[in-house]
Amino acid sequence: MNFKSDNEAPAHPAVIKALVEANEGFATAYANDRYSKLLDERFSALFETECHVLPVATGTAANCVSLAEISPPWGAVICHRQAHIHNDEGGAPEFYTHGAKLVALDGDNARLNAAEVAAAVDSAGVHGVHNVKPAVVSITQATECGTIYRPEEIGALAEVAHDRGLFLHMDGARFANAVDWLGCRPAEVTWQAGVDVLSFGATKNGAITAEAIVVFGRPDWLEGMERRRKRGGHLLSKMRYVSAQLLAMLEDDLWLKLAGQANQRAAELARGIEQSPDTALEWPVEANEVFMRATPEKLAELKALGFEFHIWPGYTDLARLVCSWSTTKQAVTDLLQALNRT
Amino acid sequence: MNFKSDNEAPAHPAVIKALVEANEGFATAYANDRYSKLLDERFSALFETECHVLPVATGTAANCVSLAEISPPWGAVICHRQAHIHNDEGGAPEFYTHGAKLVALDGDNARLNAAEVAAAVDSAGVHGVHNVKPAVVSITQATECGTIYRPEEIGALAEVAHDRGLFLHMDGARFANAVDWLGCRPAEVTWQAGVDVLSFGATKNGAITAEAIVVFGRPDWLEGMERRRKRGGHLLSKMRYVSAQLLAMLEDDLWLKLAGQANQRAAELARGIEQSPDTALEWPVEANEVFMRATPEKLAELKALGFEFHIWPGYTDLARLVCSWSTTKQAVTDLLQALNRT
Amino acid sequence: MNFKSDNEAPAHPAVIKALVEANEGFATAYANDRYSKLLDERFSALFETECHVLPVATGTAANCVSLAEISPPWGAVICHRQAHIHNDEGGAPEFYTHGAKLVALDGDNARLNAAEVAAAVDSAGVHGVHNVKPAVVSITQATECGTIYRPEEIGALAEVAHDRGLFLHMDGARFANAVDWLGCRPAEVTWQAGVDVLSFGATKNGAITAEAIVVFGRPDWLEGMERRRKRGGHLLSKMRYVSAQLLAMLEDDLWLKLAGQANQRAAELARGIEQSPDTALEWPVEANEVFMRATPEKLAELKALGFEFHIWPGYTDLARLVCSWSTTKQAVTDLLQALNRT
Amino acid sequence: MNFKSDNEAPAHPAVIKALVEANEGFATAYANDRYSKLLDERFSALFETECHVLPVATGTAANCVSLAEISPPWGAVICHRQAHIHNDEGGAPEFYTHGAKLVALDGDNARLNAAEVAAAVDSAGVHGVHNVKPAVVSITQATECGTIYRPEEIGALAEVAHDRGLFLHMDGARFANAVDWLGCRPAEVTWQAGVDVLSFGATKNGAITAEAIVVFGRPDWLEGMERRRKRGGHLLSKMRYVSAQLLAMLEDDLWLKLAGQANQRAAELARGIEQSPDTALEWPVEANEVFMRATPEKLAELKALGFEFHIWPGYTDLARLVCSWSTTKQAVTDLLQALNRT
């Protein structure tokens, strides 16, 4: 039973079906196909505002094309110490931005807070060209620790950023999980709260490989983004297959249903872990990731029983358990029973 | 009827089938799945030598990850003036290599010739650090003009390159078409002729989006290539879907069969164009691309009849007609009839 | 007797004197000293318009900081095949621009001509993001072959560039030699003719190491240029010593007098070479560089007699003879006598 | 009276004299002059081992050319949170390394300690290509806070670094001050302790603008370093003037005498500050920088009296007072008297 990553789950049948359907006949190359051309309209409807969408195959590409457009090479990108862009992309942001500096801050539950960001920005850059220049605040929604920014928290960060001439980027690899948990409209946690550009993730949520850069109200960024996507090798010649996945995810709010399933499983898991005498939750479980404290021995026993999960880097007693749209209720029950049995 | 690009053709059913099958259950992320792990073995069998394979989603990624590994930032990459890396990748090679210079040479039928490459390399770099340093010879097989390097031509280029400390890179976006036309074993036009690294294309040949970097005998390059792939955002979390496509293409030599079909259609088209009084071939038709000279009026008429193709940049009387695995005999017949009718 | 390069000549005593005087007491670091602060005013007076000046230590830094500001990483910089930025800066422009492509054109006497530049720009970039984007036309004044653009030629190039959204950069490593020969005001061959940014060279003309980036009417470029200068390691902490050299060169038009001396010697040399039966001029001698055709034997004899000069790369019978402010009439006479004697 | 920076002090007369002497006659360009050619020998004598030297004009260039050679673009450079490369070079290390990540650690008195570096390196990079790869430990000697690493501390850091495949870089902008204070031979705090490459600073210590990259025992690094220096625009055509400064500094141990004077003044200043009732030292004064705690009012009074110094960024009550070779005993006395008077 796999709790290692939502990246290890299969794609949802509706996504597969959409891809098969997209395979009919010829289609114009390089994102000029009819699927790709629908994206602006469909995402604009979803977000209740005009937005521009660039499909790409990976979250790293989505994040980095965006960051490179909104930070100069001498810029600083403020992010949380747990941020995926800081820890898990092998330096891709530095590569795409031509050397911007990621400035990692602390913050409870893997969330930046506005006051600390303000302080960091205000003290950075005072020496002009001798310093890098704060350019972007980047937040992850849901965070790498499975927690979620509230709209007002995002609003406060946006205000800090915008007041100081910075932009607000959201890494939404698990954006769907956040929106499901918050029960809000997508607009409320993005552009209405001040987000300038969003990496809308679909891969972890049941697609094969599909992410969307969603730009709110800045058409002047598009040329640079399209150039950077091309230079990164991310303008797929047969983009229809990526765009069709995105469209399938939006159809009938599939993206929200799948995230809801994953969140539901994670919540069940969390309740069981809290009730179990030997385990504890490291962070509040708000999305589809559950961080469980347990003795190394207990964790080893679970692994021996066939449960797959990651030990969090730097720890021996902290397991990350991720639920996906395909995680079954039975798998959760089995894990919880095993917890209480071992 | 679409003769615009093999990138506009659908994927072959066997590829779709493989992708659907790969969707069963969980799979380890980031190219550690069982499909990706088979690639070294399968490609080694195909090429009759130990080789190492990195799957990626685009040809640009394949080319650029390779070039960046084998050229320093101050390197020169010798290529033909028609090379895709020089003209059609939006500066991606310069981005990935951190600023290497592409030195474009002439050469009949879009092919570099060894003597001119030798002369170019020998005269470059004589001023040491004041010049860029020749590092790579890059050839496209089949070329951008639909012609094909013979094994002995590649051997001569490899000798020139290796004697001078350069590596030989092959952009094989249409490698299958070349191997089919030559009727040789893949080994003969790659490592046996001196190719150090190959971008093995599958996308144009019937895949959805799948290319393979094939490294011949240089395991020391792998770490850098893997790092560069990651930093480029090309290490797909769900790589199984790319690798499954590649495996499907290799299965029962599907890759050669599909290329053979496309080549066959192109040959039929070429014969008809030669026989038609008002049209001529610009370059020998050896692969699946046909370059046809015709008056702008004639080309306009064909377009008006619903035939889709590109007018070659810089020309008004040169059409590129591309056949893919899915181009029907009927489509070719229709085009030739239209040619003679208009 | 050294005709190898104006880079091998000593600095003029007035420059040394200025540097010694600048050594008095403390001075604010990082170009905030009183010498550096005078530059805008002094250069504005010289060029009869408001201009902004960034002092740097090398011509490569001057060129590359400018090019990086006015070309995006996906830009194309159109230059002559002989251009120093293309051949002699070891890839520095590619480094500073983060991978822009230098597109080298032919053109008589090492000069670009407007029609060919227009044609090149008009045919480049037609495929959008698949191509690099023409961004800059860069010319060298005086050229690498010792020839000089007339104001109207520059005007024509500027019109071609500006009409197409490109900027015009002038590498003026030997700008002084050009202005002396033309007998014009500096304004006439720069901003009045449409030059957007100039690398004003002083090093070759008698300074120790001092160049000025002169920006005409684009204060919005300054922040980026200052950032790039800093990131390149070219914001000298003790910039006063560079700025003092530049001020000394401007004082009483020393820069023009020194260039005039060098040009005069080159003209004398050219006359002698034309009159000598066994030698010929390769290009018109308009500045301080003389390109002399002679048999390899004759060139060898001259070298044996102690005359130092470069054989032009790619040739055996073409010598480059450079005069500097410090080249004596006697040295020229000696060389001409040796020519006729050998 | 200027205590702002040793960068604001004039050059020492012996340096000026050397520069004037170097101005005699012609000299081969681009570091092939007789001054530059002496550097390897002279530095090898100084360091009692064979070393290779690349002269450059700025400390940023020295640091960044080195870091770029010893860290891949996906590398991590471990440094102290106070490091000049991290805070004060405007992102130049990221630029030259093509995007390496600077990982800043804490450590008492601005010094890294071996155990924390070991822990940081051991926990970084465990996720392979998903992480950046620790490649370099960089220390500043003397540190940005005026403290000094003991040879055994450097040895411990070198052991940590080398055991894990990292290199040890020393930013020696104030290396002379460290050697003077330690009273050791230069070898003891460099290669004998495990330093792989040193930025040997002369500018702050009485030169005009001259720094030396000193490479210990790695001739294979030279080509890359020379290429990077050129591409950075730091291969001065008239390098003789930089090299002559370096030679002058080495002559009769001028570099140590000048650092000794500066250190002596700083020590006097420190004693006075300790004895003054209203002021305190922030860090031990071991080199030529004195960090003084005092009320903002007191600092304002000192400024009003004409004493120039920097308030440390992020503080209102911390002044940095820097002594240079040219700081007079009288200036120190005046400052101390003012302290006690106000």
Three-class HEC string of chain D: CECCCHHHCCCCHHHHHHHHHHCCCCCCCCCCCHHHHHHHHHHHHHHCCCEEEEEECCHHHHHHHHHHHHCCCCEEEEEECCCHHHHCCCCHHHHHCCCCEEEEECCHHHCCCHHHHHHHHHHCCCCHHHCCEEEEEEEECCCCCCCCCCHHHHHHHHHHHHHCCCEEEEEECCHHHHHHHHCCCHHHHCHHHCCCEEEEECCCCCCCCCEEEEEECCHHHHHHHHHHHHHCCCCCCCCHHHHHHHHHHHHHHHHHHHHHHHHHHHHHHHHHHHHCCCCEECCCCCCCEEEEECCHHHHHHHHHCCCECEECCCCCCEEEEECCCCCCHHHHHHHHHHHHHC
Residues belonging to chain B with any Cβ–Cβ distance to chain D shorter than 8 Å: 30, 72-74, 98-99, 129-130, 133, 224, 226-231, 235
Q: What is the CA radius of gyration of chain B?
A: 20
> C3 to chain D nearest CA, in Å?
10
Q: Extract the residue ranges of chain B whose pLDDT is less than 50.
A: none
The pLDDT score that the predictor gives to residue B51 is 97
Count CB pairs under 8 A between chains A and D: 64
Hey, of A63, A95, A101, which one would you mutate to test binding to chain D, going by the most D CBs within 10 A of its CB?
A: A101
The Cα of A249 is separated from the nearest Cα of chain B by a number of Å equal to 17
Of B88, B91, B123, which has the smallest distance from its Cβ to C73's Cβ? B91
B75-80 and B101-105: which strand pairing? parallel
What pLDDT sits at residue C342?
A: 66
C123 to B313: CB separation less than 8 angstroms, yes or no: yes
Q: Identify the CATH number of the domain in which residue B155 sits.
A: 3.40.640.10
- A76: in domain: yes
pLDDT < 70 regions, chain D = 342
Return the partners of chain A (3 or more C-beta pairs < 8 Å): B, C, D
Residue of C nearest to D11 (CA): C23
Minimal Cα distance from C126: which residue of B? B313
The confidence score (pLDDT) of residue D104 equals 97
> What's the domain range around A322?
254-341
B interface mutation test: which of D71, D96, D131, D227 has the most B CBs within 10 A?
D227
Tell whether B262 and B247 lie within a shared domain.
no
CB contact under 8 A, A7 and B30: yes
Cβ contact D227–B130 (<8 Å): no
pLDDT of B121 reads: 96
Do A30 and C227 make contact, defined as CB atoms within 8 angstroms? no
Interface contact flag, D230 B30, Cβ < 8 Å? no
Question: Is residue C68 situated within a structural domain?
Answer: yes
Of A88, A91, A129, the CB nearest to D90: A129
Indicate yes or no: CB of A233 within 8 angstroms of CB of B19. Answer: no
Q: What pLDDT was estimated at residue D313? A: 86
- Look up the pTM and report it: 0.98
Say yes or no for a CB contact (<8 Å) between A73 and D88: no
Rounded Cα gap, residues B57 and A61, in angstroms? 12
Considering only CB atoms, B99 lies closest to which of C94, C130, C132, namely C94
The position carrying tokens 């804490």 is D106
- Selecting from B90, B129, B313 the residue whose C-beta is nearest the C-beta of C74 gives B90
pLDDT at C157: 98
Asked if D237 lies within 8 A of C20 by C-beta distance, the reply is: no
On whether the CB atoms of residues C139 and C149 are closer than 8 A, the answer is yes
Check whether residue C219 and residue C332 sit in a common domain.
Answer: no
A8 within domain boundaries: no
Closest CA to B66 of B216, B228, B231: B228
Distance CA A207, CA B44 (A): 31
Q: How many domains does chain C have?
A: 2
Decide which of C252, C269, C285 is a domain's last residue: C252
Mutate to test the interface with C, among A227, A228, A230, A235 (most CBs of C within 10 A): A227
Q: Do B234 and A58 touch (CB under 8 A)?
A: yes
CB < 8 Å to A72, chain C:
224, 227
Strand B318-322 with B167-172, pairing: unpaired
Cβ neighbors of D182 (< 8 A, separation 6 or more) are D148, D150, D151, D188, D189
Residues B196 and B236 in one domain: yes
Residue D46: inside a domain? yes
Strands (E) across chain B are located at: 51-56, 75-80, 101-105, 133-140, 167-172, 197-201, 211-216, 280-281, 289-293, 310-311, 318-322
For residues B177 and B292, membership in a common domain is answered with no
Q: What is the mean pLDDT of residues C9-25?
A: 97
Model pLDDT, residue B25: 94
Cβ within 8 Å of residue D128, ≥6 positions away: none
Show Cβ contacts of residue B12 under 8 Å, excluding neighbours closer than 6 positions. B206, B207, B254, B258, B325, B326
Residues B248, B258 share a domain: no
Rounded to 5°, the CA angle D20-D24-D29 comes to: 100
Residues from C contacting B (CB-CB < 8 Å) are 73-74, 87-91, 94-95, 97-102, 123, 126-127, 129-132, 313-314
Kindly list the residues from chain A whose CB atom is less than 8 angstroms away from the CB atom of residue C31.
none
Chain D contact probe: residue of C12, C20, C236 with most D CBs at under 10 A: C236
Please name which of B20, B53, B36 lies closest in space to residue A208, comparing C-alpha atoms. B20
Q: Is the CB of D233 less than 8 angstroms away from the CB of C26? A: no
Nearest CA in chain C to A223: C129
Asked whether the beta carbons of residue B95 and residue C73 sit closer than 8 angstroms, the reply is: yes
Q: How far is A74 from chain B (nearest CA, A)?
A: 16
Boundary (domain end) residue, out of D253, D286, D308: D253
Nearest-CB residue to A101 (from D91, D127, D131): D91
Q: Please say whether the beta carbons of D243 and D33 come within 8 A.
A: yes
Closest partner residue to B230 among D98, D130, D227, by Cβ? D130
* Residues A53, A187 within the same domain: yes
Average pLDDT, chain C: 97
**pLDDT class for A341, splitting at 50, 70, 90?**
confident
Dihedral, CA atoms, D107, D108, D109, D113, nearest 10 degrees?
-50
> A29 vs B4: CB contact, 8 Å cut-off?
yes
Q: Domain for residue D5, yes or no? A: no
> Closest partner residue to C130 among A74, A129, A230, by Cβ?
A230
**D73 and D90 together in one domain:** yes
Shortest Cα distance, chain D CAs vs residue C156, angstroms: 31
Shortest CA distance to A286 belongs to which of A307, A269, A308, A310? A269
The last residue of one of the domains, among C232, C252, C272, is C252
> Same structural domain for residues C203 and C265?
no
Q: Is residue C3 part of a domain?
A: no
Query: C25 to chain D: which residues are within 8 Å by CB?
Result: 10
Residue C253 has pLDDT above 80, yes or no: yes
Q: Are residues D96 and D113 in the same domain?
A: yes
- Chain B: list its partners (3+ Cβ pairs within 8 Å): A, C, D
User: How many angstroms separate the CA of residue C228 from the nearest CA in chain D?
Assistant: 9
- Is the CB of A232 less than 8 angstroms away from the CB of B28? no
Residues A18 and A120 in one domain: yes
What is the distance in angstroms between the Cα of B32 and the nearest Cα belonging to chain A? 10
pLDDT digits (tens, 9 = 90+) for A199-229: 999 999 999 999 999 999 999 999 999 999 9
Domain-embedded: residue C284: yes
Read off the CATH number of the domain in which C292 is found: 3.90.1150.10
Closest CA–CA distance from residue B262 to any residue of chain C (Å): 25
Q: Which residues of B touch C77 (CB under 8 A)?
A: none
| Domain co-membership, A248 together with A260 | no
Which residue in D has a C-alpha nearest to residue A126's C-alpha? D313
B229 interaction partners in chain D (CB closer than 8 Å): 129
For the stretch A24-60, pLDDT in tens is 999 999 999 999 999 999 999 999 999 999 999 999 9
pLDDT of residue A342: 66
What ipTM score was computed for the predicted complex, to two decimals?
0.97
Q: What is the pLDDT of residues B192-231, one digit of tens each?
A: 999 999 999 999 999 999 999 999 999 999 999 999 999 9
B21, B26, B30, B36: CA torsion to nearest 10: -40
* Whether residues B56 and B164 fall in one domain: yes
Give me the residue from C74, C91, C131 closest to B99, CB to CB: C91
Look at residue D1 and tell me if it is in a domain.
no
Q: Which residues from chain B sit within 8 angstroms of residue D98, using beta carbons?
A: 73, 98
